Structure 1
């Protein structure tokens, strides 16, 4: 698991990194809110640990920025013990809230509990049938179900077929006309703009930030490709 730690106290950062390494996890750290937002845009994280009091951009603003892009699991750290502060943090989009000082073992236990909550369907499906994992997306062909960051995504039949075709061949460029034929056959009477509309709708549902797609990438003048390689298949 890859974790982004946003914490301005060096001792806490070092302690968390040590405990995370003992669990077999990796962590990127920063004390700065602005840098944290940039790091989150540039890398893929499975979990965010966020302190409310930071250098530069405050933790509340960092949380809002992250939530505009992703539903990644997020735990807030703070020295504020008032109930109103806890409620505010959860309303901002935090999945859990820990008050300082805390024991690292407690945080690790909460991380395991949170990850069990956000992705139970993935764990169950791994033991029940064939799945395809692409980054933080999991596709279940038999059920025609899609999870993104543990969240179930509702797709139309056309959107699912489109995703299935693209994700089966990561990096391979598909022309619009080719996709139309593969989905609709000879009976389709529309044009490439219809396919563009399907792509747009699909991106809204699966991309962390539809304006900067990582799963379905446009290749100018050619068509589309799936930009995330397989993490593993069973």
Structure 2
């Protein structure tokens, strides 16, 4: 699927011209005439990059950029006839990633668009990688492959052992009660006399801790529960 670029400019001819450049490079485009329309549009639709004019009626580019940044990290490139350093600084401070002055070279515009999309793609991939992997000192938990490593060595856990460890790791620093762990992992009501969670915690410690009697990962909070 091709990347989608949102072009926001009150000048119809500029929008058409930019659209031709971008579509010739394989991008899909959407055109809007002012910042207010852009803010409303982006509340329900995501795009890959925004080209945003500064001087527009109803809501200028600076105001629109600040509104967009309240919720989205989409790359934003300002297009403006204002070429003073102070104008560029104001644009970047408001949350833009780049600033191009009019009239612009079409080749430079395309190059900057591609550069910002590459950066955004790498950033999003890194974020996604962090979501899949939880690293706590020498303990690595891959939520996608369900593999666990300690000191680089793979540790074999049962499905329930993995679920407990992943639950504690995703809530690192928080104390999880035995009841809460049981209900979230087994998806069933907890019985006070049930020691299932305690038994599983013991087995996990035997597998991931250097010294299970003095655990460095899964800590017992007496009378409350467990935490990483």
Classify the TM-score, shorter chain.
0.5 to 0.7
Alignment gaps of 5+ in structure 2: 146-159, 169-176, 185-228
Is 2:132–2:144's contact at 8 Å kept on the other side of the alignment? no
State whether residues 15 and 104 of structure 1, in contact with CA within 8 Å, keep that contact through their aligned partners in structure 2.
no
Change over 3 Å in CA distance of 1:117–1:152 after alignment to 2: farther
Cα separation, 2, equivalents of 1:182 and 1:152: 18
Q: Distance in 1 between matches of 2:86 and 2:130?
A: 31
Q: 1:197-216 counterparts in 2 under 5 A?
A: none
- Verify the 8 A CA contact 2:133 2:143 in the aligned structure 1: no
Distance 1:61 1:43 in 2: 19
Partners of 1:163 and 1:66 lie apart in 2 by 31
Query: CA 1:110–1:161 in structure 2 vs 1: closer, same or farther (change >3 Å)?
Result: same
3, 6, 10: which one aligns with 1:4: 6
| Larger Cα-atom Rg | 2
CA distance in 2, matches of 1:76, 1:32: 13
TM-score between the two structures when normalised by the length of structure 2:
0.57
Deviation at 1:42, TM superposition (A): 1.3
Of the candidates 10, 13, 16, which is equivalent to residue 15 of structure 2? 13
Matched, 1:37 2:26: no
RCO higher in structure (CA 8 A, sep ≥6)? 1
Counterpart in the other structure of 1:71: 73
Q: CA RMSD in A?
A: 3.5
Shift of 1:38: 1.2
Per the alignment, residue 89 of structure 1 pairs with 91
* Change in 2 beyond 3 A, CA 1:9/1:183: same
Structure 1: 5+ residue stretches without partners: 123-136, 139-145, 166-179, 196-234
Query: Contact (CA 8 Å) 1:4, 1:28: kept in 2 or not?
Result: yes
Q: CA deviation at 1:190?
A: 4.2
Query: Do the aligned partners of residues 25 and 85 (structure 1) sit closer, same or farther apart at CA in structure 2, a change above 3 Å counting?
Result: same
Give the TM-score normalised by the residue count of structure 1: 0.56
String of CA shifts for 1:139-181, please: whole Å, max 9, x gaps. Answer: xxxxxxx426xx97797569x979749xxxxxxxxxxxxxx98
C-alpha contact 1:47 1:72 (8 A) present in aligned 2: yes
Give the one of 189, 192, 196 matched to 2:178. 189
Distance 1:110 1:69 in 2: 23
SS of 2:77 mapped into structure 1? strand
Contact 1:6/1:31 (<8 A) preserved: yes
When the two structures are aligned, how many residues end up with a matched partner? Answer: 156
Distance 1:13 1:181, change over 3 A: farther
Is residue 133–residue 142 contact of structure 2 (8 Å, CA) maintained in 1? no
Show structure 1 runs of 4+ deviating over 2 A: 113-119, 151-158, 160-165, 180-183, 185-188
Q: Note the C-alpha offset of 1:114.
A: 2.4
